[in-house]
Amino acid sequence: MEAMEDDSSEVKDDHNHNYCGGKVRAALSSQVPDGVGAPEPVCPTVPGGEPAKRQAKPWSGSPRGSKFMDSDTGSESSEVSEPDCSAASTEDKFRLDSTSKFLLNAMAIEDYRKNHWPNLEEAIDRLLIQNFSDHISVSYAQIYGYVYKCVCQQHSELLYSDLTSKITAHLQQVSTQLQASPTENLIENFNIALTQYLASLQCIVPVFIYLNKFYIESKLNRDLKEDLMKLFADHVAEEHLSKLMPLLIKAHSMPFQVQPSTMASVVKGLYSLRPEWAQLAPALFSSFIPQIHPPAVESQLHDYADRDRKLQMELSMKGFPRGDQSRKRASEDS
């Protein structure tokens, strides 16, 4: 009991309740040699060869940036701060994260090239070269699933580039085949190529709707179908327009030289590709598409009547009779 009382008498409580008795201070001071300060924490070397800065202020036992009171004198000491070792560790962590992201991205692209795109490419080929008389078994749900995964894995730009490149290569082959087509069959073969391409888009555009919604519309401010139609206009229609347009005008002046359904399909198809092409042959396009000509004006009614009489005369000279008008009047009178 006396020993305990002796020990307790050595413990003094200052006004900040810092208990530091004389024996405790003596024990601590005896363990540290004279002239040697408190050990400093070792900071990792900052990339670039420069070590992190170290501050030789003693540890206060209080949070960083706080002030403490000396247990003996009660005086307020200056503010201290712990060594800042976070800069090096943060930069090292950033480098590790960047490397990890790069490796993961490379692995994801490799997976796209080996697994996703080959399956999509095969399906696109089958849709582009399909024969309407053949039954093609294509799993649209599977294609949509591949597209969904590619978009979710941040491959939208790569997928869009591969899709347009694939269709462009196909259209260039179609254009080459049309160049080898005989002149008298150009209208018919062009109609077949356009009709088949439009039918393919009816299958391709819906399964790529996720790509269209979350990349083409949101980031490119365009539409997938419009882009694919533009590809046909650039690589097929425009390449053969100089030969195709005179043939259409000639066929229009000689009725039934080309089937009316084929004429209507080609003219309407050209107008859907680029409406400005209608200005190359307004009379031709106005026969199949309304409102090509400007609205009628009352002051030009006489001109319209003259054009109608001229047209009737031309048809009569080409062997198209106007009919027995006397019999028609006699039937009306009766």
What is the pLDDT at residue 267? Answer: 96
Per-residue pLDDT reduced to its tens digit, 295-317: 767 787 888 788 888 878 877 88
pLDDT, residue 79, reads 45
Q: Report CA-CA distances (Å) from 199 to 162, 211, 226, 262.
A: 21, 20, 14, 16
- The C-alpha atoms of residue 59 and residue 140 are separated, in whole angstroms, by 68
Q: What pLDDT is stored for residue 229 in this prediction? A: 97
**Residue 59 to residue 62: CA distance in whole angstroms:** 8
**pLDDT at 261 exceeding the cut of 70:** yes
Are 155 and 109 a contacting pair, CB within 8 Å? yes
pTM over 0.75, yes/no: no
Domains of the chain: residue spans and CATH = 105-284 (1.20.1310.10)
Residue 176 binned pLDDT confidence (cut-offs 50, 70, 90):
very high
* Percent of the chain topping pLDDT 70: 61
Average pLDDT, the chain: 75
- For the stretch 187-238, pLDDT in tens is 999 999 999 999 999 999 999 999 999 999 999 999 999 999 999 999 999 9
Q: Which two tokens stand for residue 211?
A: 């790509």
Q: Cα(330)–Cα(272) distance, rounded to whole angstroms?
A: 47
**H helices then E strands: how many in the chain?**
14, 0
